Structure 1
Amino acid sequence: MSGNKRMGLVLIEAFADWEYGLVAASAVAWFGFSLTVLTPGGGPVTSMAGVTVTGGSALEAAPADDFDAVILIGSDRWEKGAAPEADALARAVHDSGGTVGAICGGTVALARCGMLEDRAHTSNGRKWLRDVAGDYAGADHYRDTPEAVTDDRIVTAPGTAPATFAVAVMTSLLPGGEDQIAEMRAMMAAEHTV
């Protein structure tokens, strides 16, 4: 069903440990995607919890046509303007028909480069996104919801929603995969039905 989909996972210094696991593991283990970790300069990055990821590919050299999706994982460094090269990659992947996902601080990069101007989106709060991304042009399209929001193959989520983020990314990438995605959603929601 996946058709050899290729995902680029953008991790920058101080990335949020809880935000990438479900989307990355689901893509690879359940749907058979290939996954490339992209880091600034291809160097090591360390998570908020102190876990170091090595062996990434250089974010600034990543060709957009290598990916069906690019996913920007949160970090407080996005607020400080880190990894501006992610802006161009996200735009290029989307322009070529791919899916772009951003969770938590990763949404700042999309706001910064204008990708949220005309699209429904969410993040860690409208005021927070305005404060850290400047008076971005898409504020009127902000949706105050605890779950991921998808509009035109752009998936955004607050940092507290890694499960709905993973489901929304897979839904965007796998039209026709409703049964397997429904299984995934049910499994992730099981703890909340007790």
Structure 2
Amino acid sequence: MRPPDGDGGAETVVLTPGGADVTSLGGISVLSACKAEEALSGDFDVLVVCDSTIRQTGAAPDLSAPVGRFVEAGKPVAAIRDATLELARLDLFDTRAHTGDHSGQRGKLVLHDRGAVHYRDQPQAVTDRAVITASGAAPAIFAREILAAIGLGSAELRDYLAMYGDEHGAAKG
């Protein structure tokens, strides 16, 4: 995402493995702008690795090159739900706090998982050194963290998105 000149918004560019157009599990057709493997950190403000159940298998596409380029450049990399498995396999959680959906079974899904000690079992998103993670229960807070990481956060946006994340707050009374 990169904000267009002057309006403070963000542009979303979809990149897919191999550059192929895809259809989501929900039946939404998505056109790819180019190959995800070729994403350069200088061309984008953040890399968001999308959720996909294929990441629970050995058939997931290899995104280590673009993820590595973004991490090396200090650019944000974000993953939600099953996409967090990709980052765990790349050892990004060895020294970073993170969350996701697979605390109980991640050891079976990610060989040599050394980041379990840094796992935060919480519904809120976690950001640690430009790596943003969230469980599937926190899409609004995940989006807030991404926008804040690229300088598009604001008090108004925080307040608006907090309305959707309030169910994750501590019980009162």
TM-score normalized by the length of structure 1: 0.76
1:1-194 aligned at under 5 Å gives the runs 6=2, 31-81=8-58, 82-84=60-62, 86-174=63-151, 180=154, 182-190=155-163
Sequence identity of aligned pairs in percent?
35
SS at match of 1:150: strand
Which structure's relative contact order is higher, taking Cα pairs within 8 Å and 6+ residues apart? 1
Q: CA deviation at 1:78?
A: 1.2
- The answer to whether the 8 Å contact 1:125/1:144 transfers is no
* TM-align CA RMSD: 2.3
- Deviating beyond 6 angstroms after TM superposition, the runs of 4 or more aligned structure 1 residues are none
Q: CA deviation at 1:156?
A: 0.3
Structure 2 counterpart of 1:164, which letter? Answer: I
Q: CA deviation at 1:184?
A: 1.5
Cα deviation, 1:99-131, whole Å, max 9, x if unaligned, reads 010000110110001111100000003113222
Q: CA deviation at 1:64?
A: 2.8
Distance 1:128 1:183 in 2: 37
Structure 2 counterpart of 1:183, which letter? Answer: E
- Gapped runs of 5+ residues in structure 1? 8-26
Cα deviation, 1:55-74, whole Å, max 9, x if unaligned, reads 33111222232122100111
- The answer to whether the 8 Å contact 1:122/1:157 transfers is yes
Distance 1:49 1:32, change over 3 A: same
Distance 1:169 1:83 in 2: 23
Larger fraction in strand:
1
SS at match of 2:98: coil
- The answer to whether the 8 Å contact 1:104/1:159 transfers is yes
The structure with the larger Rg is 2
Distance 1:104 1:80, change over 3 A: same
Structure 1 counterpart of 2:2, which letter? Answer: R
Q: Give the aligned length.
A: 164
Distance 1:144 1:97 in 2: 25
Distance 1:52 1:101, change over 3 A: same
Distance 1:186 1:52 in 2: 32
SS at match of 1:6: coil
Cα deviation, 1:67-98, whole Å, max 9, x if unaligned, reads 221001111011224121x2221121121120
- The answer to whether the 8 Å contact 1:46/1:53 transfers is yes
Distance 1:191 1:104 in 2: 18
SS at match of 1:41: helix
Structure 1 counterpart of 2:106, which letter? Answer: L
